[in-house]
Chains A and B, each alone.
Chain A
Amino acid sequence: MNPAQGERAALVFLVLAAPLPWLVDSGTLVHFGIMVFQAATLGQAWNILGGMGGQFSFGHAAFFGAGAYTTAILQLRFGVDAWSGFFAAILAGAVVALVIGLASFRFGLRGSYFALVTLAFAEVLRILANTLEITGAGVGLLLPLAPGLERLQFADRRGYYLLALFLCAASLLVARAVAGSRLGARLVAVRENEEAASALGVDPFAVKMRAILLSGAMAASVGAFYVQYFLYLDPHIAFGPQVSVEALLGPIVGGPGTVAGPLAGAFLLQLLGEASRALAGGATGANLVVYGIVLILIVRFLPGGLAGLARARAERAGAGS
């Protein structure tokens, strides 16, 4: 499978998955689908910056949490409607991205340094959320249950399923548009060799800023979705390291820098997670043990992720024919 085929396969997968909850009556399936789409969208956000642009963030929770808290606070404390809250959340993600991006890329932070700074930013936000009153401090925020499309809440979980699927599809299309654009070409060039790119007229700072803004906004939309779905939020859920880890796992496993990779990775990981939880008798942490092992194995044996595997197979088949 080449990248273009992978993209098409991912889109077809989403189209086919859309009616599934109406064909198979299973709450487990619906929840599983929501988790996959959510992780895939978050992963796609990471992928644009980390996979295409090579800027490995270890703090995508900063954007996710900013989005989640923005809509939750606006709804709870300011009586803003959920839809406006949703768009405000996306904006908030972009603002946090602007701050982190300006701070790190202006000073030319790369590699491990960038990873550490993003991690620290997420931690600062977590501690702030844990301290401030407006965020409900350590207690967190609980949104009132009030189903209705205008409030972006659904009595039927399948509504969330479709919403998550829509977000996932949108993120895929955005990623595809980026990958096929001049920005995408320049992002990859910056990833491969920043100095060579700048010698060819690419402004690495501008390119990375665009990527992080897009990435932050996208990750924030997932945070906003999370709030609508679970109606509860606390500092650890929003800004904890597990969000940042989830953001990077999918694309790394699925194929960093490819459009279809985050979805493929998210699907596989959720599947493995469910299986390991079942095997370990529901013990918390069992899925993360498996994720850690998968991460190590992928980096060691399959640095291109699942997409790399598919590409290698296609090349072998092509060479054979």
Chain B
Amino acid sequence: MVDPSIVAASALHGLATGAVYALVALGLSLVYGVLHIVNFAHGSLLMLALYGVYFLHERLGLDPYLALPVLLPVAGLAGYALHRWVIAPAGGARDENVLLVTLGLALVLENLALVAFRSDTRTIETAYSFSMVALGPALLPLPKLVALLGSLVATLVLWAIVQKTDLGRAIRAVAREREAARLVGIDTRHAFALAFAIGTASSAVAACLLLPSYYVSPQVGHGFVLIAFTIVVLGGMGSFWGAFWGGLLIGVVESLGGLFLGESLGQIGIFAIFIAVLLFRPTGLLGRPL
């Protein structure tokens, strides 16, 4: 039998990872919900953000959490520009085209990183890297706890932006009724690019929360993008809370699956969920669209 406190710790770890997954997936889900595009480059953008955090720490000694105010606007602007001037013009009518363009983007970004930074896996060390916090019976590394809480806060902020601000209202209006939104004077191209910018920015937040307990390499985005897709599909394409709960669920499933089945088979579990949901409930299990 596995010790219950190990199971509890594993579940807690999973929850912390899952919260970050949820944040990454929320960006993807927002983009899907508003633009109806599947953004293959989402993982690569996260990867770039992770390198951003890494180099800010290594070169300037900037604490990863304090890198947030630097990275957030950069990521937002980059996302805006990418959508407005690369993805939107190439996308055209077929959604397969968007798939191809974002795939092309992923190829470019990932391999540029490979050329520039080589395939080494890099980590950072901070004073608190190895501090542990006792939560009930389980011990959790401090960076994981920060990731968990930070992701929850970021999710709430994101929700508030989407629900309570004029920007969010405009984006939601465009998501539901493109033509109508255009008619009432919303600049749809601008709104689309803003949604994409928010999606990218949430990846930057995830990067800052992630790096102290994680690593960065050119391929790091792969795993995330597939998991994020799983979460988005599980939660219902474009659903906000669906992606949130889906993220937590996948984090826990992955962690417990890894504990009981070994790491690889645990991952297969995730893809099995992914395929099963796509086949049987492509509208998702958990949420409604935004």
Contact = CB atoms under 8 A, between A and B. Distances in A.
Interface stretch (B56-64, B138-146, B276-284): B276-284
Contact of B104 (A107, A112, A280, A296): A296
Interface stretch (B18-26, B84-92, B198-206): B84-92
A69 interface: no
Instruction: Give the interface size bracket for A toward B.
Output: 35 or more
Interface stretch (A13-21, A40-48, A116-124, A143-151): A116-124
B45 to A, nearest CB: 14
Interface residues of B, number: 44
B16 interface: no
A80 interface: no
Contact of B90 (A54, A121, A296): A296
Given A120-B271, A299-B90, A109 B107 contact: no
Contact of B115 (A113, A115, A119, A283): A283
A123 B274 CA distance: 11
Interface string A287-321: 01101111110011001000000000000000000
Given A112-B96, A299-B97, A288 B275 contact: no
Would you call the interface of chain A mostly helix, strand, loop, or mixed? helix
B268 A116 contact: no
A113 to B, nearest CB: 6
B8 interface: no
B110 to A, nearest CB: 8
A241 interface: yes
A91 interface: no
A245 B271 contact: no
Interface string B263-290: 0110110011011001110100000000
Given A124-B268, A127-B267, A303-B97, A285 B111 contact: yes
A104 interface: yes
B41 to A, nearest CB: 10
A306 to B, nearest CB: 16
Contacts of A296: 86, 90, 101, 104-105, 108
Contacts of B271: 120, 123-124, 127
B70 interface: no
B132 interface: no
A295 B97 CA distance: 10
Given A56-B99, A115-B96, A289 B282 contact: no
Contact of B264 (A58, A116, A131): A131
Contacts of B95: 111-112
A228 interface: no
Interface string B250-273: 000000000000101101100110
Contacts of B104: 291-296, 299
Contacts of B262: 131
Contacts of B92: 299, 303
Interface string B3-47: 000000000000000000000000000000000011000000000
Closest 10 CB pairs of A and B: A292-B107, A295-B104, A285-B114, A285-B111, A292-B108, A300-B90, A296-B104, A288-B111, A131-B264, A112-B38
Interface of B: 37-38, 86, 89-90, 92, 95-97, 99-101, 103-112, 114-115, 119, 218, 222, 226, 229-230, 233, 262, 264-265, 267-268, 271-272, 274-275, 278-280, 282
Given A283-B114, A284-B115, A289-B112, 5 more contacts: A120-B226, A121-B275, A285-B110, A292-B107, A300-B89
29 contacts: A58-B99, A109-B279, A111-B95, A112-B38, A115-B38, A115-B99, A116-B278, A117-B275, A123-B271, A124-B271, A127-B265, A127-B267, A128-B268, A245-B103, A280-B115, A284-B115, A286-B111, A286-B115, A288-B111, A289-B111, A292-B104, A292-B109, A293-B108, A296-B86, A296-B101, A296-B105, A299-B100, A299-B101, A299-B104
